């Protein structure tokens, strides 16, 4: 048909979606939801009754899983909401660099060097103190919607 070449600037990944749809009425407390394009953990859900015409509404209060900010959203209970795919992975801490990045050991023996230290002060202090004392530390990394952050810490004893 046409002799012109088409160029596509594809920024495609593996095709795995960052979120999946779920009916608003089925999302419960301690679940996850996307509010204002941020992955949040639901801390409160309240449902209003249907009006004269219309839907029951769900009022969600969520805490951003990465920065701890409180976000709210109101959605008709029959509509779909985006729910983020949230993964938690444990890695052993190998090293902390001067510029605030950590070196982590994955299950298959490779290192992961692209994560910053957490911004949470108490967690940051626990990691630095434990590392300085030479303890074997395992950090839990939460990942959702293309973001990753260290969320908790386990001490598995002193290094041998």
Structure tokens that stand for 48 in this block: 């209003």
pLDDT reported for residue 77:
86
Tally of CA atoms within 13 A in the half-sphere of 150 that contains its CB: 31
In this structure, what token pair is assigned to residue 45? 């859900």
Query: What share of the chain has pLDDT > 90, as a percent?
Result: 26
Is residue 59 predicted with pLDDT exceeding 80?
A: yes
In degrees and rounded to multiples of 5, residue 61 shows phi and psi of -115, 125
pTM: predicted TM-score of the whole model, two decimal places: 0.75
pLDDT band at 10 (very low <50, low <70, confident <90, very high): very low
Please tell me the predicted confidence (pLDDT) of residue 155. 77
- Do 47 and 60 touch, CB atoms closer than 8 A? no
Burial status of residue 100 (CB atoms within 10 A of its CB: 0-12, 13-18, 19 or more): exposed
């Amino acid at each position: 048909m046409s002799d012109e070449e088409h160029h596509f600037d594809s920024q495609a990944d593996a095709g795995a979606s960052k979120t999946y749809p779920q009916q608003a009425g089925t999302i419960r407390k301690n679940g996850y939801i996307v509010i204002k394009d941020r992955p949040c953990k639901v801390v409160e859900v309240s449902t209003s009754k249907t009006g004269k015409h219309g839907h029951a509404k769900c009022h969600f209060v969520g805490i951003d899983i990465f920065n701890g900010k409180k976000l709210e959203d109101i959605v008709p209970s029959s509509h779909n909401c985006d729910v983020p795919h949230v993964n938690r992975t444990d890695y052993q801490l190998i090293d902390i660099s001067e510029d605030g990045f950590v070196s982590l050991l994955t299950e298959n023996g490779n290192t992961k060097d692209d994560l910053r230290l957490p911004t949470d002060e108490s967690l940051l202090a626990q990691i630095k103190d434990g590392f300085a004392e030479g303890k074997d530390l395992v950090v839990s990394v939460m990942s959702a919607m293309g973001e990753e952050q260290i969320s908790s810490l386990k001490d598995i004893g002193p290094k041998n």
